[in-house]
């Protein structure tokens, strides 16, 4: 970071560049905005930009860090005030949603920052987690080390997903009822005092899902394991219907999807080119356009395919669940196991938000819609608390989201 200008007019120019850059990044994203565009909007020469900043990355990351510092300040203030844990969490969550709602552009920049410089959001999340831990747990608290490490991140995950839904996707404030639902889940948990139903054990033949975090699930998705060379190999994303042989065109389409998954997962959407995909798939570039009009189209299909594969994986895992409480544990375990060694898959989904928000929003909405009826039925049966099922579904998605980042994908 270059030193702050000593002259007032220099400080004003620098501030104007930051303000214009914030709007440009909000509208066009990191990859869509350029130094030339920022300078044009600020009515300064390109050379003027470099008097104050080394490059575009410095401006982008400065804005992302500004969001982190602001969040840390408002959360600390809300959590320091006296009251019960529930009171302080309610204030903190309200402060979080108010701040990111007022600084929506900065939050969007912060969310994209993990694809520019991962260590920045990781550092901010750890700072926020320390603040939450300081004010939620007392010195005499009997909570173990694992709980102290996990609960602050779980709270942030729940807040993140509900906030993303309303503030980013729908561009409106988080409803008070949804805030109350998240606080109820965070402070009272999911389970009622109803006895847990027994889980069938040992599992049925061919089912390796057991009743615990160490459970494993047989994966039948060829795209997860390697290039789909075998015409009879089971797979999603263009595979033939049961009882029908797969055509050569369907096999090629699946191979392109597999190659796109590898390229986007390793290089990112903006770093990967169609030539990289076709080279890995072993087909001519012209063949790509037989199946997909462009790069964004194969990304959309890939996100939908990943969604189908994940939902199938979770269905397999929870088949032996005694009730919804078991299902949540088994489903989360299956998700984390699925991510392990496949970090590129989740990168694709998350980065899609900054390429085609509609398909990324569809991905999470589709998962949430699958939660809602089951949660409502479980509440009716008295096995989970009567918390509004829709915000609870997004909170549970956020719990899985942050768990996957914190304990599987982050270095």
Q: What pLDDT is stored for residue 335 in this prediction?
A: 94
pLDDT, tens digit (0-9, with 9 covering 90-100), for 294-328: 999 999 999 999 999 999 999 999 998 888 999 99
Q: What pLDDT is stored for residue 228 in this prediction?
A: 60
Of 204 and 301, more confident: 301
Rounded Cα distance, 371 and 153, in Å = 21
pLDDT, tens digit (0-9, with 9 covering 90-100), for 12-55: 999 999 999 999 999 999 999 999 999 999 999 999 999 999 99
Q: How open is the CA angle 108-186-315, to the nearest 5 degrees? A: 80
Burial of 182 (0-12, 13-18, 19+ CB in 10 A): buried
Rounded Cα distance, 305 and 136, in Å = 40
Q: What pLDDT is stored for residue 139 in this prediction?
A: 65
* Cis amide linkage into residue 16, ω under 30° from 0: no
Residue 297 tokens read as 């189209």
Coil/strand/helix, residue 234:
coil
Residue with tokens 């599987």: 408
Helix axes 389-404, 145-163, angle to 10 degrees: 120
The pLDDT > 70 percentage for the chain reads 87
Rounded Cα distance, 326 and 332, in Å = 10
pLDDT, tens digit (0-9, with 9 covering 90-100), for 75-85: 999 999 999 98
pLDDT, tens digit (0-9, with 9 covering 90-100), for 229-250: 543 333 444 444 555 667 999 9
| Residue 138: CB atoms within 10 Å | 10
| Residue 202: CB atoms within 10 Å | 9
Say what the alpha-carbon torsion angle 261, 225, 119, 360 is, to the nearest 10 degrees. 40
pLDDT at 209 over 50: no
Q: What pLDDT is stored for residue 220 in this prediction?
A: 35
How far separated are the first and last CA of the chain, in Å rounded?
A: 25
| Residue 51: CB atoms within 10 Å | 14
pLDDT at 391 over 90: yes
pLDDT, tens digit (0-9, with 9 covering 90-100), for 87-122: 999 999 999 999 999 999 999 999 999 999 999 999
pLDDT at 161 over 90: yes
Mean pLDDT over the full length of the chain: 89
- pTM for the model stands at 0.88
Domains of the chain: 1-54 (1.10.10.60), 60-189+385-411 (1.10.357), 194-359 (1.10.357)
């Amino acid at each position: 970071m270059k030193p702050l200008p000593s002259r007032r007019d220099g400080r004003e120019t620098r501030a104007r560049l930051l303000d214009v850059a914030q709007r440009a990044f909000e509208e066009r994203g990191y990859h869509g905005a350029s130094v030339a565009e920022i300078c044009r909007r600020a009515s300064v020469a390109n050379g003027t930009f470099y008097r104050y900043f080394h490059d575009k990355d410095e401006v982008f990351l400065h804005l992302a860090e500004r969001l982190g510092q602001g969040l840390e300040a408002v959360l600390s203030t809300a959590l320091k005030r006296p009251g019960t844990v529930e009171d302080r969490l309610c204030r903190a969550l309200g402060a979080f949603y108010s701040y990111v709602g007022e600084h929506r552009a900065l939050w969007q920049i912060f969310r994209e920052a993990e694809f520019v410089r991962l260590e920045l959001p990781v550092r901010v999340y750890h700072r926020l987690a320390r603040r939450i831990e300081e004010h939620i747990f007392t010195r005499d608290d009997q909570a173990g080390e694992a709980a102290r490490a996990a609960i602050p991140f779980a709270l942030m995950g729940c807040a993140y997903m509900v906030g993303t839904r309303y503030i980013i996707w729908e561009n409106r404030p988080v409803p008070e009822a949804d805030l109350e639902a998240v606080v109820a889940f965070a402070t009272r948990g999911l389970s009622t005092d109803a006895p847990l139903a027994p889980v069938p054990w040992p599992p049925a033949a061919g089912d390796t899902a057991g009743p615990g975090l160490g459970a494993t699930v047989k994966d039948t998705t060829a795209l997860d394991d390697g290039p789909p060379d075998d015409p009879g190999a089971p797979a999603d994303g263009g595979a033939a219907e049961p009882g029908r042989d797969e055509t050569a065109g369907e096999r090629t389409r699946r191979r392109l999807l597999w190659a796109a998954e590898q390229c986007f997962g390793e290089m990112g959407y903006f770093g990967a080119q169609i030539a990289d995909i076709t080279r890995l798939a072993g087909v001519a570039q012209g063949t790509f356009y037989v199946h997909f009009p462009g790069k964004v189209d194969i990304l959309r299909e890939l996100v939908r395919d990943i969604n189908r594969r994940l939902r199938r994986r979770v269905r397999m895992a929870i088949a032996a669940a005694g009730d919804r409480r078991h299902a949540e544990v088994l489903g989360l375990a299956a998700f984390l196991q699925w991510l392990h060694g496949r970090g590129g898959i989740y990168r694709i989904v998350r980065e899609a938000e900054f390429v085609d928000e509609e398909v990324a929003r569809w991905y999470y909405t589709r998962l949430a819609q699958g939660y809602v009826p089951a949660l409502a039925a479980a509440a009716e049966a008295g096995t989970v608390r009567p918390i509004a099922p829709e915000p609870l579904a997004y909170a549970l998605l956020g719990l899985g989201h942050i768990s996957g980042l914190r304990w599987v994908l982050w270095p």
